Amino acid sequence: MSPWSKEIWRLIWLTGLALIIGFISGYALACLLITSVGYLIWHINSIKRLEKWLSKPGKTNPPQGTGIWAEIFDRIYHLQKQNRSRKKRLAKYITRFRESTAAMPDATVVLNRYDQIEWINKAAQDSLGLQPTKDVGQHLSNLMRHPGFIRYISRKDFDSPIELPSPADEHRTLSIRIIPYGQDQRLLIARDVTRLKQLEQIRRDFISNISHELRTPLTVIHGYLESMQDETNDSLQDWQENIEMMRRQSNRMQNIVDDLLMLSRLENEETKQSSREAVAVPNLLHMIKDEAMALGHEKQQRFTLECDDELGIFGVQNELYSSFSNLVFNAVRYTPKGGSITMRWYQDQNGAHFEVQDTGIGIPPQHIPRLTERFFRVDVGRSRDIGGTGLGLAIVKHILERHNASLSITSQVDRGSTFRCNFPAENIIHHVQKAVTKA
């Protein structure tokens, strides 16, 4: 029988007894009242003992109880025991988590929903200069004042990490990432990437140096080959075919060196604020169209330019010229005879867009994500034949990144491709002709 049914039976039994005594003595109502008051007093007394027991701190045995109250005391005691062991388990997990994160070489900071520090590990003390005694409870943005970090934490877009100099040692570079978890909590992980940055710099310097070193000898060789071609000397006549081949190859090497130098300049140099200006993109596009028509003249390709003549952007003119012309000249080179090439320059709610659409050979879908890698070519032989270096789209990507813009590519094999540069709305300048004359 359940404790509750037992209690009901006890009440029926008590009421029955009170009624029998009441009828025998002739005071039925008074007996019933006395029994009810007694029953109530028993309950009140039990509640009082329960309250006294619950308010005692620490682990204490439950009070002795009878009837339903014995059951209630027992159940509460068991719940308390369960809670205590769950708490112990949780505390063990937390200790284990803290011990493992404390041992991690990456700096770890636990933040609450208000970006206040809740906990830091040893590495965070070394690389972020935080102190467990002083800084716990402080707003992280009060302690890490780098403008890049303030922007990162307030933007609340933590998909990718940011790289910053360490607040404790400016010669070290940290890759910082915030990971949201639980209920509005965040974990900040900072990794020391100084060595990686150094290696990247060594690689960049190597490419830049080797390109510089190769430039002069190549110019000399190219110059001699050109004068040998112009030479009327009979002894060179039999060599003309070979000389032409050598000249073409040295020309190709010069183009590669020039593109490599351009890439390393784009990677190594920050854009100077003074070189940014209001660029009259329509003017650039008219120029590029004329050059493309000259380039594609033999192929009898059709060129169309749909252009918003008022639309300009804030950027670096020669860089924009370089990336737009790269895309258009690629369209010319990878579109067969009689094909058409359409250039568009327009604005929509997402910003300004430059689009080059061709009816060329197209690109298989599996190659599209790799097109902007250095030296990646879908068909190496074809690219070489038409004088490609395999660096053009890598340059385009770098230039667009410097303008906070992105490149999107859609293509269908044998149907054609569309390359689109997407510029953010904040870079747009209207009535650009006027802006240019002012600049």
Which C-beta is closer to ligand ADP: that of 180 or that of 364? 364
Q: How far is the CB of 204 from ligand ADP (least distance, A)?
A: 19
- 389: contact with ligand ADP by CB under 6 A: yes
Which C-beta is closer to ligand ADP: that of 161 or that of 390? 390
- 152: contact with ligand ADP by CB under 6 A: no
- 256: contact with ligand ADP by CB under 6 A: no
Which C-beta is closer to ligand ADP: that of 252 or that of 276? 252
Residues 6+ apart with CB under 8 A from 402: 266, 271, 316, 319
Site size for ligand ADP, by CB under 6 A?
21
- 288: contact with ligand ADP by CB under 6 A: no
Which C-beta is closer to ligand ADP: that of 307 or that of 356? 356
Q: How far is the CB of 382 from ligand ADP (least distance, A)?
A: 7
Cα dihedral 105, 110, 115, 118, rounded to 10, equals -120
Which C-beta is closer to ligand ADP: that of 31 or that of 394? 394
- 360: contact with ligand ADP by CB under 6 A: yes
- 417: contact with ligand ADP by CB under 6 A: yes
Q: Which of 46, 127, 301, 330 binds ligand ADP (CB under 6 A)?
A: 330
Q: Among residues 115, 136, 222, which one has the least CA distance to residue 178?
A: 115
Q: How far is the CB of 236 from ligand ADP (least distance, A)?
A: 32
Which C-beta is closer to ligand ADP: that of 281 or that of 341? 341
Of the candidate spans 2-10, 192-200, 344-352, 377-385, the one that interacts with ligand ADP by CB under 6 A turns out to be 377-385
- 363: contact with ligand ADP by CB under 6 A: yes
- 301: contact with ligand ADP by CB under 6 A: no
- 334: contact with ligand ADP by CB under 6 A: yes
- CB-CB contact of 391 with 385 (8 Å): no
How many C-beta atoms lie closer than 10 Å to residue 316's C-beta? 17
Q: How far is the CB of 335 from ligand ADP (least distance, A)?
A: 7
Which C-beta is closer to ligand ADP: that of 22 or that of 416? 416
Q: Which of 292, 319, 383, 400 binds ligand ADP (CB under 6 A)?
A: 383
- CB-CB contact of 436 with 278 (8 Å): yes
- 377: contact with ligand ADP by CB under 6 A: yes
**What are the CA-CA distances from residue 240 to residues 221, 223, 225, 252 (Å)?**
15, 15, 10, 18
Residues forming the site for ligand ADP (CB under 6 A): 330-331, 334, 358, 360-361, 363, 371, 376-379, 383, 388-394, 417
